[in-house]
Amino acid sequence: GAVVSQHPSWVICKSGTSVKIECRSLDFQATTMFWYRQFPKQSLMLMATSNEGSKATYEQGVEKDKFLINHASLTLSTLTVTSAHPEDSSFYICSARDQGDRDYYEQYFGPGTRLTVT
């Protein structure tokens, strides 16, 4: 099956610094990737849809200047949390959409990145 990797798997940073998270589709090309965040005991919250070669589409309430998304190639999307604060501490998960030889799209998830801002 399709594999999506995420790096780093966990990161601790100081308040005010920026953190970049990478999401890669390893064995398929993904024109569309998604970024989610998940707080403990809550469901996934879609932050933005990342389309290769164009600007990301952000969900309502998500600050695009704070969460910078770049999808410069068909296998890589990055999320940069700028000027991180403790309330940004969360589990960030990316997914990549692939149709393959099916008649539907399936989302493959990366393993997630646990961000802790101190």
Q: Which residues bind another protein (CB under 8 A)?
A: 34, 41-44, 46, 49, 91, 93, 97, 104-112, 114
Which residue number, 14 or 79, has a Cβ lying nearer to another protein?
Answer: 79
Torsion angle of C-alpha atoms 20, 62, 99, 24, degrees rounded to 10: 0
61: left (phi over 0), alpha (psi -120 to 50) or beta: left
Minimum CB–partner distance for residue 83 and another protein (Å)? 26
Minimum CB–partner distance for residue 16 and another protein (Å)? 27
Which residue number, 60 or 65, has a Cβ lying nearer to another protein?
Answer: 60
Minimum CB–partner distance for residue 34 and another protein (Å)? 8
b or e along 84-104 (b: 16 or more beta carbons within 10 Å of the residue's beta carbon)? beeebbbbbbbbbbbeeeeee
Which residue number, 84 or 110, has a Cβ lying nearer to another protein?
Answer: 110
Using the 8-state DSSP alphabet, how is residue 22 labeled? E
